[in-house]
Structure 1
Amino acid sequence: MIRPLRSFALVVLAVALLGTGTAPAQAAPAAGRYIVTLKGGVRPAAVVAARGLRSAAVFDRALNGFAADLTSAQLAALQRSPQVAAIEADLPITAQATQPVSGGQWGLDRIDQHNLPLSGSYTYQHTGANVHAYIIDTGIQISHPDFGGNASVAFDATGGDGLDCNGHGTFIAGLVGGSTYGVLKQAKLYSVRVMNCAGSATVSQVIAGVNWVAANHQPRAVATLAIGGASSAALTSAVTALVNSGVFVAVPAGGESGNACNSSPANVAVAYTVASSDKTDHVASFSNYGTCVDAYAPGVSVTSDWIGGGSATLSGSVSVAFAAGIAGLYKATYGDAPSATVTSWINANATYNVLINVPPGTANRLLYTGGL
């Protein structure tokens, strides 16, 4: 299970990786649900049909493979198959619940200026009306008045209606494109629901959402993926493919006060990995760090939209929304561009060396809108 990253420690059940090859003679492989990555040129649907696999979710864009419930015999056969590149258990990843914290709407104020003190305003030149933002999360309450009709349901990996019954996805959407709290005031917001009402999922459900966006996204696309857990080769491959399809993807560094390179999707090289800072420019005590971190953004006591039509103030993975929003400002201003180009512009225009208590080996870089 995957939950939104929080300002509190994640409790992680490690994802077991099973390489191809013959299983050990002393123990039969365990039955269960697995993610199977196939070699190039092998059609996932054909493999699923030929082997009579049940409850299969087929991925054909972000990942060449499928997830399915396998018997021990089916798993052993796939481990021996020359068509298979890797097999990964679709095991749970869990996190503590998001907790409301005190504070207010300061994040927008911080990203439009290089230095403190805060000016008390957010200045922008573009509303992002031509930008498409995919919120891969718990869904979006599309009827929230702050979205002004710009939010819609795109996909639901849980079998539901794509609407948010948790709150986290609506919160992230509000920071990206809400009229009150958003970096982009008129962006098109798409609910790509991969988590249930408890804010949990499986790796394969997340990949299903990523796969859908890779196949269906519009031009000038950005995405948030505010989740995290143990390093997953399948998820890393899927997110990499999504970025390579033309979508700027913002992911969180994580909230375990550890090395961001040890978790996915924080360790995806082509995604934009964001750590958290507070309104005094101190690095958040919970934030992960290391060479996988691209930049910091407001992530402590940030206010945004919430289910029920109101708002909430949270800490944690919310910092990803500011990165996606700034990428959207770039695309609204200059047109569509590869993520590497957008990343270079964001980094070149960022505020350097103002953050306090940045761990060694981590970039002292704070997101800035560049006046867009």
Structure 2
Amino acid sequence: MKYSLVISTSILLSTFTTTLAAPVNPSTATVPAASSDEGDEYIIVLAPAEKRPWGQVFTDMGYNMTSRAHDISVNKHTFGTNYGDLRTFGKEFRAFTTHMKSTDAASLASLPNVLSIEKDVKWTVKVQRYNDTFGTHNVKDNKWSFPIVKRQAQQDQLNQVVQQSTAPWNLARISTAQPLTSNGREVIDLKFNYQFERSSGLGVDVYMLDSGINTQHVDFGGRAKMVFTAFGNDITDGHGHGTHTAGTVGSTTFGVAKNVNLLGVKVLDSQNAGSLSSFVAGVDFALSSHLQRRTQPGFKGSIINMSLGGPGFAQPLFDALQRATQAGMHVAVAGGNDNTDSCQFSPAQFSQSLPIINVGATNVVDQKWEGSNFGKCIDIHAPGEGIVSTSNKGPQAMEPMSGTSMACPAVAGAMAVELFKNPSLDPASLKKLIVSKALPGVLQGVTGGNVLLNNGLRAVG
């Protein structure tokens, strides 16, 4: 089988060493039905037994290959780290993307060295901006300062409980057992009380698979940096979604875990859209970074926050997250914002077979947020309506947004808090702990995951 395509126009996802478990679907490579004769982008995953150099693989598949094709392809999905040199963790995962007709894809799927072929779909992540004019407000107006934790601090200092009286409502709700009362406060006011442990998230890396992070925002205190982009050299957050979710995980004013390392993995563009291949590449980058970091002093654990997703079952993404969790990474995913069954979406539906946490969203009166997905695939709920957090509009800007995208990072932050205290927790054990600490019987109108995130400190909000 011969193709006219020059391989330098395709994107290699990774040449990465890790554990590759058997796929959920039948082991024979399958390809979705044809959409047009003009062709589509496909993700081709090689079988674990295929060890030959890329040049030999492509030649046998009938591709023409330029001398620099491999380097060009890898760099297109990599920023700041070469993740093709690890040889210490299980079997290799190797995949690439290319444009071809469905008939050619079907022929390629029959090759013994091809594990799976799937269309490289593009997903746009929905988010609701609560009030566009609010983005002109600045963090400096809030007058809140968190005492920075030093790694050399004594244990009694690390265990100290801190109260923030200038918190957004979502932080207050996860640190109290009682429903919030307004007391004259609006949902987007920063006048709520949040209690948390001073050590919250120290030494934990949180990989934000999102639209990027405004790393110059003062509320990140220098703990946020961009480490990967699927868009050439673009490491900016052109949408704001990524900066907002990162703020809920670990910014000084709006964060659940105020000491975490926030690592931006840019897989969404300025329209908050990204391809399946980019998501897979982002997960595998995070995994390779985790494997390098896990033996370093002060390291407590790695979390992937995925406030993104799309319809259907995405086998390559399932495989990537399976490898990550098998390597000890912890994962929080958004349940989706279509007010329908969360089990219809990836990666949300993976929570039924992988130790990841799928999060639904609630409002300030403990009801299901109107757009939140629901069903048995939801593990837990967290506040998701009118959530104020960091913005991409300036170094001090903040704004409110709504969605399961805003609920998911609150859970990721709670996971980071627990990992500092017990870094030996495996993903299944941490998921069980987070769900067990959540409040039962307080939510209204939810189906599935009928518990509300809580840190156990039981403050007065």
Instruction: Provide TM-score, normalisation by structure 2.
Output: 0.70
1:124-175 deviation digits (Å, cap 9, x = unpaired): 1123221111101001111110001111111111112422121110001100
- Structure-1 residue corresponding to 2:161: none
Instruction: State the Cα distance separating 1:79 from its structure 2 match.
Output: 1.9
The equivalent position to 1:279 in structure 2, one of 351, 358, 364, is 364
Q: Which whole-Å CA distance do the structure 2 matches of 1:357 and 1:330 have between them?
A: 29
Instruction: State the Cα distance separating 1:94 from its structure 2 match.
Output: 3.1
- Structure-2 residue corresponding to 1:195: 268
SS where residue 134 of structure 1 aligns? strand
- Structure-2 residue corresponding to 1:312: 399
Which shifted more, 68-77 or 232-241? Answer: 68-77
Q: Answer whether contact 1:29 1:76 (CA < 8 A) is retained.
A: no
SS where residue 276 of structure 1 aligns? strand
Between the two proteins, the alignment pairs up a number of residues equal to 352
Q: Which whole-Å CA distance do the structure 1 matches of 2:35 and 2:120 have between them?
A: 20
Q: Which whole-Å CA distance do the structure 1 matches of 2:47 and 2:30 have between them?
A: 14
RMSD across aligned positions (CA): 3.0
- Going from structure 1 to structure 2, the CA distance change for 1:30 and 1:300 (only over 3 Å counts) comes to same
Q: Answer whether contact 2:48 2:93 (CA < 8 A) is retained.
A: no
Which shifted more, 261-270 or 30-39? Answer: 30-39
Q: Which amino acid aligns with 2:195?
A: T
- Going from structure 1 to structure 2, the CA distance change for 1:97 and 1:181 (only over 3 Å counts) comes to closer
Instruction: State the Cα distance separating 1:341 from its structure 2 match.
Output: 1.0
Instruction: Say yes or no: does 1:107 pair with 2:170.
Output: yes
SS where residue 314 of structure 1 aligns? strand
**Greater Rg by CA:** 2
Instruction: Say yes or no: does 1:35 pair with 2:120.
Output: no
The equivalent position to 1:250 in structure 2, one of 299, 322, 332, is 332
- Structure-1 residue corresponding to 2:96: 66
The equivalent position to 1:299 in structure 2, one of 384, 393, 405, is 384
- Structure-1 residue corresponding to 2:259: 186
- Structure-1 residue corresponding to 2:156: none
Q: Answer whether contact 1:62 1:238 (CA < 8 A) is retained.
A: no
Aligned pairs for 1:146-295 within 5 A: 146-217=219-290, 218-219=293-294, 220-231=301-312, 232-269=314-351, 270=354, 271-295=356-380
- Structure-1 residue corresponding to 2:162: none
- Structure-1 residue corresponding to 2:149: none
Q: Answer whether contact 1:138 1:169 (CA < 8 A) is retained.
A: yes
SS where residue 243 of structure 1 aligns? helix
Q: Which amino acid aligns with 1:314?
A: M
- Structure-1 residue corresponding to 2:419: 331
- Going from structure 1 to structure 2, the CA distance change for 1:196 and 1:342 (only over 3 Å counts) comes to same
1:83-121 deviation digits (Å, cap 9, x = unpaired): 222211112333556423499920000001122135931
- Going from structure 1 to structure 2, the CA distance change for 1:98 and 1:285 (only over 3 Å counts) comes to closer
Aligned pairs for 1:330-369 within 5 A: 330-359=418-447, 362-369=448-455
Q: Which whole-Å CA distance do the structure 1 matches of 2:409 and 2:230 have between them?
A: 21
Q: Which whole-Å CA distance do the structure 1 matches of 2:419 and 2:269 have between them?
A: 31
SS where residue 304 of structure 2 aligns? strand
Q: Answer whether contact 1:297 1:319 (CA < 8 A) is retained.
A: yes
- Going from structure 1 to structure 2, the CA distance change for 1:124 and 1:138 (only over 3 Å counts) comes to same
- Going from structure 1 to structure 2, the CA distance change for 1:140 and 1:72 (only over 3 Å counts) comes to same
- Structure-2 residue corresponding to 1:7: none
Structure 1 unaligned segments of length 5 or more: list them: 1-16
Q: Which whole-Å CA distance do the structure 2 matches of 1:141 and 1:40 have between them?
A: 38
Instruction: State the Cα distance separating 1:20 from its structure 2 match.
Output: 3.7
Structure 2 unaligned segments of length 5 or more: list them: 1-25, 78-82, 85-90, 135-166, 183-191, 295-300
